[in-house]
Amino acid sequence: MSETERGKAERRKRQRLELWERQNRQLRASDPPRLDDGRRLIRMYAEYGDEGDLPLWEDFAEHSFVDRDTFPISEDLLDALVAWNAEWQRWTEGVDDAVVERSIANGRAYVARLRTELYGIAEIRAEFEH
């Protein structure tokens, strides 16, 4: 990666973190927690938990864990998210880079689907590739 590309990547990361902090302030300022446009904020990242857990979280809500009935998400997407999280939970040190890249690509696709299915209801924040 060239110096220019690194600089652009760092700038995008800084802008993303600034946006996230602004959104977090909005959520903390409202009850129930909502962004200024009325939408909820859902964070997606893999995490250890029980079998069948979704990799979705809603900060500042009464219960931060998002379960299958919290939002109108299609069953096939819910199942795909559970499988994506379960795959991550099985990883150990030394996971092949190709496996990680495939998981990130799948995660991006799931975020896109969530944004479509929850349009107008929630902002989806992908937090699995810092």
Say if pTM beats, i.e. exceeds, 0.75.
yes
What number of CA atoms fall less than 13 Å from residue 106's CA on the CB side? 18
Query: Domains in the chain: how many in total?
Result: 1
Let me know if residue 72 belongs to a domain. yes
Q: Are strands 122-126 and 40-44 parallel, antiparallel or unpaired?
A: parallel
Alpha-carbon distance of 75 to 80, in angstroms, equals 9
Is 89:51 a contact under the CB 8 Å cutoff? no
Q: Which residues lie below 8 Å from residue 32, measured CB to CB, with a gap of 6+? A: 61, 62
Let me know if residue 101 belongs to a domain. yes
Instruction: For residue 63, give its domain range.
Output: 38-126
pLDDT per position in the chain (130 positions), as tens?
788 888 888 999 899 899 989 998 998 888 888 999 999 999 999 988 888 899 999 987 777 889 999 999 999 999 999 999 999 888 867 788 899 899 999 999 999 999 999 999 999 999 998 5
Let me know if residue 70 belongs to a domain. yes
